């Protein structure tokens, strides 16, 4: 079932560490190549020799142990298709959430660019601690899969939530993620998010109400499906995949164009300003006695249209990049969207109504209609932006 798959298991110092011996056997029985790294504390609960025998591989504990040309944390991270940390203690969870790399395990996960599953196990009071919950939310929001602990009798004598979830659950989740991240189907997604910022002077700018949530949800989904993902955004955001921060429409265009040649899918979810100030002032514009101030604007490049033209001009080449635009309208949504897909020339156009407060700009929800080049369309009912992102990716890959 898992033939050819490389699974990296990180074990931290909790009593549930002993259960991972059986998990390793389950993966080995399914023909996976299993490598194990432990924190020093994990070895209080399970021996290195046991893990080595079961995984049939060297077990890593200390950094700088291996005699290879790459530093260990990079070689472990490069080799594995998936990493799972079980049991994950409150300590390790918090370190990962803050980017702390003070042992082999935390360094590896920091360098890891593929799916990560975290299965926490700890005392119930520690589990309920808002700091731990916040750290878990942070990890979940950047794409780590958290398998929540179960409730029951805990080794520390307490009764409550904190017991490592079942090994079957970890096993099945790993298989499901590996199946959906089949590297043969891996694509390169380039996704833009957020409103561009066009400076007027050093203190003022022209922008819009885009929060970047829709584009980020799309990038998270692409990444979760095992794709190489590049998010080009005006928003400050930390993700386990590559994020390129830009400000203006021109900067966004430069960044997207640089990725064009190697991209399989480009999604323009960003709200790009159509105009920028013609003569941006280097100094703060002073108030005068005039009642009016006129700003002269010039058109920004149409990034989406430029990409579609580029694709059109390269028709002779066999490479097929899918180009997806968004369409933000406050009236006549579908009529305007139909005109826009023809005008821009993209393969798909996702139309959303930005006059509604319960979807669109800044909301956690959206409701969209997907228009295809061939005239077909499909409405996606109101749902979280994550769910809408999932359905959009499914639709454009059919
Ligand atoms: O960010 P959120 O708060 O989550 O909100 C999501 C969203 C409403 C911003 C998003 O879903 C959305 O609709 N994005 C596109 C907004 C927009 O610029 O729409 P438009 O109809 O003006 O542009 C059509 C398309 O052309 C878009 O893909 C846009 O990225 C692109 N464009 C527009 C102008 C320009 N100069 N260059 C472009 O590439």
Residue 102 is part of a domain; what is its CATH number?
Answer: 3.40.50.1950
pLDDT at 67: 60
CA atoms of 193 and 384, how far apart (whole Å) = 16
**What is the 271 CA–ligand 1 centroid distance (Å)?**
4
Percent of the chain with pLDDT over 90: 80
- Is residue 36 domain-shared with residue 134, that is, in the same domain? yes
- Is residue 228 domain-shared with residue 293, that is, in the same domain? yes
Please, what's the b/e burial string for 345-356 (b: 16 or more CB within 10 A of its CB; e: otherwise)? bbbbbbbbbbee
Nearest-CA neighbor of 135 among 150, 153, 122?
122
For ligand 1, whether the C-beta of 361 sits within 6 Å is yes
Total Cβ atoms within 10 A of residue 162: 27
Contact 97/138 with Cβ under 8 angstroms?
yes
Determine, yes or no, domain membership for 168. yes
- Is residue 113 domain-shared with residue 226, that is, in the same domain? no
- Is residue 151 domain-shared with residue 204, that is, in the same domain? no
- To test the pocket of ligand 1, the residue of 269, 298, 343 to mutate (highest count of ligand atoms within 8 Å of its CB) is 269
- Is residue 15 domain-shared with residue 140, that is, in the same domain? yes
- Start-to-end CA distance of the chain, whole Å, equals 25
**What is the 317 CA–ligand 1 centroid distance (Å)?**
28
Say if strands 116-120 and 297-299 run parallel, antiparallel, or are unpaired.
unpaired
Q: Is 156 a catalytic residue?
A: yes
Determine, yes or no, domain membership for 330. yes
Contact 265/350 with Cβ under 8 angstroms?
no
374-to-11, 341, 370 alpha-carbon distances in Å: 51, 10, 12
CATH of the domain at 222: 3.40.50.10300
Q: Per residue in 117-163, pLDDT tens?
A: 999 999 999 999 999 999 999 998 888 999 999 998 888 888 899 99
Determine, yes or no, domain membership for 299. yes
- Is residue 83 domain-shared with residue 144, that is, in the same domain? yes
324 pairs with which residues across the strands?
A: 267, 348
Write phi, then psi, for 33 (nearest 5 degrees). Answer: -90, 120
Determine, yes or no, domain membership for 1. no
pLDDT at 106: 96
CA atoms of 398 and 390, how far apart (whole Å) = 13
Total Cβ atoms within 10 A of residue 92: 26
Domain hosting 149: range is: 6-180
- To test the pocket of ligand 1, the residue of 190, 257, 270, 365 to mutate (highest count of ligand atoms within 8 Å of its CB) is 270
- Is residue 151 domain-shared with residue 116, that is, in the same domain? yes
For ligand 1, whether the C-beta of 328 sits within 6 Å is yes
Q: Is residue 379 pLDDT above 70, yes or no?
A: yes
For ligand 1, whether the C-beta of 304 sits within 6 Å is yes
pLDDT at 317: 59
For ligand 1, whether the C-beta of 253 sits within 6 Å is no
Q: Which protein residue's CA is at the shortest distance from atom 17 of ligand 1?
A: 271
For ligand 1, whether the C-beta of 348 sits within 6 Å is no
CA atoms of 148 and 131, how far apart (whole Å) = 16
pLDDT at 175: 87
Q: Per residue in 353-374, pLDDT tens?
A: 999 999 999 999 999 999 999 9
Q: Of all atoms in ligand 1, which is nearest to the CA of residue 340?
A: 24
Determine, yes or no, domain membership for 275. yes
**What is the 313 CA–ligand 1 centroid distance (Å)?**
24
Q: Of all atoms in ligand 1, which is nearest to the CA of residue 305?
A: 39
Determine, yes or no, domain membership for 390. yes
3-state helix, strand, coil in the chain (%, to 5): 35, 25, 40
Determine, yes or no, domain membership for 69. yes
The residue out of 147, 163, 180 marking a domain boundary is 180
- Is residue 252 domain-shared with residue 381, that is, in the same domain? yes
Q: Per residue in 20-67, pLDDT tens?
A: 999 999 999 999 999 999 999 999 999 999 999 999 999 999 887 656
Q: Which residue shows structure tokens 């956690």?
A: 364
User: How many residues appear in the chain?
Assistant: 398
Determine, yes or no, domain membership for 252. yes
Count: domains in the chain: 2
Q: Which of 156, 289, 308, 327 is catalytic?
A: 156
> What ranges in 80-187 are assigned the alpha helix state H?
90-97, 104-111, 124-128, 130-141, 167-180
Q: Which protein residue's CA is at the shortest distance from atom 21 of ligand 1?
A: 327
- Is residue 206 domain-shared with residue 122, that is, in the same domain? no
**What is the 199 CA–ligand 1 centroid distance (Å)?**
19
The residue out of 135, 154, 180 marking a domain boundary is 180
- Is residue 168 domain-shared with residue 198, that is, in the same domain? no
**What is the 275 CA–ligand 1 centroid distance (Å)?**
13
The residue out of 163, 180, 197 marking a domain boundary is 180
Q: Which residue shows structure tokens 């798909």?
A: 348
Enter the pTM of the model: 0.71
Reported as type and span, the H/E element at residue 305 is helix 303-313
Average the pLDDT over 313-330 and give the result. 83
216, exposed or middle or buried, with CB in 10 Å at 0-12, 13-18, 19+? buried
Q: Is residue 235 pLDDT above 90, yes or no?
A: yes
- Is residue 193 domain-shared with residue 170, that is, in the same domain? no
- Is residue 29 domain-shared with residue 167, that is, in the same domain? yes
The CA R_g of the chain, rounded to the nearest whole Å, is 24
**What is the 333 CA–ligand 1 centroid distance (Å)?**
13
């Amino acid at each position: 079932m898992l033939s050819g798959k490389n699974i990296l298991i990180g074990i931290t110092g909790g009593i549930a560490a002993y259960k991972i011996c059986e998990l390793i056997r389950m993966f080995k029985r399914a023909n996976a190549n299993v490598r194990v790294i432990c924190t020093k504390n994990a070895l209080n609960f399970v021996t290195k020799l046991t893990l080595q025998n079961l995984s049939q591989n060297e077990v890593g504990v200390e950094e700088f142990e291996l005699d290879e040309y790459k530093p260990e944390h990079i070689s472990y991270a490069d080799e594995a298709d998936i990493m799972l940390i079980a049991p994950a203690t409150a300590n390790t969870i918090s370190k990962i959430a803050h980017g702390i790399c003070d042992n082999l395990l935390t360094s590896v996960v920091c360098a890891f660019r593929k799916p990560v599953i975290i299965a926490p196990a700890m005392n119930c009071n520690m589990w309920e601690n808002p700091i731990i919950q916040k750290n878990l939310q942070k990890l979940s929001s950047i794409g780590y899969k958290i398998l929540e602990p179960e409730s029951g009798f805990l080794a520390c004598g307490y009764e409550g939530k904190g017991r490592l979830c079942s090994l079957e659950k970890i096993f099945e989740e790993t298989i499901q993620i590996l199946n959906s991240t089949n590297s043969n189907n891996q694509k390169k997604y380039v996704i833009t998010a957020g409103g561009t910022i066009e400076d007027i002077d050093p203190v003022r700018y022209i922008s819009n109400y885009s929060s970047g949530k829709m584009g980020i949800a799309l990038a998270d989904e692409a990444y979760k499906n095992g794709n190489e993902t590049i998010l080009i955004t005006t928003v400050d955001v930390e993700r386990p995949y590559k994020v390129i921060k830009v400000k203006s429409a021109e900067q966004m265009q430069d960044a997207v164009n640089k990725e064009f040649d190697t991209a399989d899918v480009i999604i323009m979810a960003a709200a790009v300003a159509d105009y920028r100030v013609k003569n941006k002032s280097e100094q703060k514009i002073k108030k005068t006695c005039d009642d009016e101030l006129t700003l002269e604007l010039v058109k920004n490049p149409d990034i989406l249209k430029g990409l579609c033209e580029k694709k059109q001009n390269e028709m002779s080449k066999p490479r097929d990049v899918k180009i997806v635009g968004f369409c933000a309208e406050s009236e006549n949504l579908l009529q305007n969207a139909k005109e826009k897909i023809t005008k821009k020339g993209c393969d798909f156009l996702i139309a959303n109504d930005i006059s509604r407060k319960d979807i669109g700009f800044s909301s956690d929800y959206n409701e969209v209609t997907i228009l295809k080049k061939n005239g077909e369309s499909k409405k996606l009912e109101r749902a979280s932006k994550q769910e809408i992102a999932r359905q959009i990716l499914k639709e454009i890959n059919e």
